[in-house]
Amino acid sequence: MQTKDKAASMQAAVVELLSAISASDGPRFRSLVTHDLRNEMPFARDPFPKESEGGDQIAEKITGAKRLFTAFTLAATEIYPVPGMDVVIIEAMSNGTLVGGKTYANQYVFIFRFRDGKICGWREYFDPYRLPDFE
């Protein structure tokens, strides 16, 4: 059974993760995830992969987002803990400005899975048609 403290801790971790992503802060991101983190983005298109693995590797990509955006914010709008499971589902919105000056905004649904207090799985659904051309 999931305790209220555990549910609150998992919710705080996903909010912190989104904050780390917004800041392109790979080290802070890495502190919140397992070494074998698996990220799935079923609707991704280039330059983003549909699947990534490894806490260190994904943290490097988070840090590298600075090359694409001059500003980026990703924030939860709703948080849904899943009773009895180590899972948190969130709705989120992003806003950003790309290096070339174009703007980007999207809506997301994230499913985060936890193991031993850290995020071990991250599935991300978003509208791929809102992604700008990164060429």
Concatenate the DSSP letters of all residues of 14-46 into one string. Answer: HHHHHHHHHTT-HHHHHTTEEEEEEEE-TT--T
Question: Average of pLDDT values for 72-97?
Answer: 96
Is the pLDDT at 1 greater than 50? The verdict is no
Question: Average of pLDDT values for 126-133?
Answer: 82
Q: What does the pLDDT look like over 7-19, one tens digit per residue?
A: 999 999 999 999 9
Domains, the chain, ordered by start = 4-127 (3.10.450.50)
Give the per-residue pLDDT at 68: 84
SS3 3: coil
DSSP 56: H
- Provide the 10 A C-beta neighbour count for residue 130: 11
pTM tops 0.85, yes or no: yes
DSSP 128: G
Residues contacting 132, CB < 8 A, separation 6+: 98, 102, 104
- Provide the 10 A C-beta neighbour count for residue 78: 9
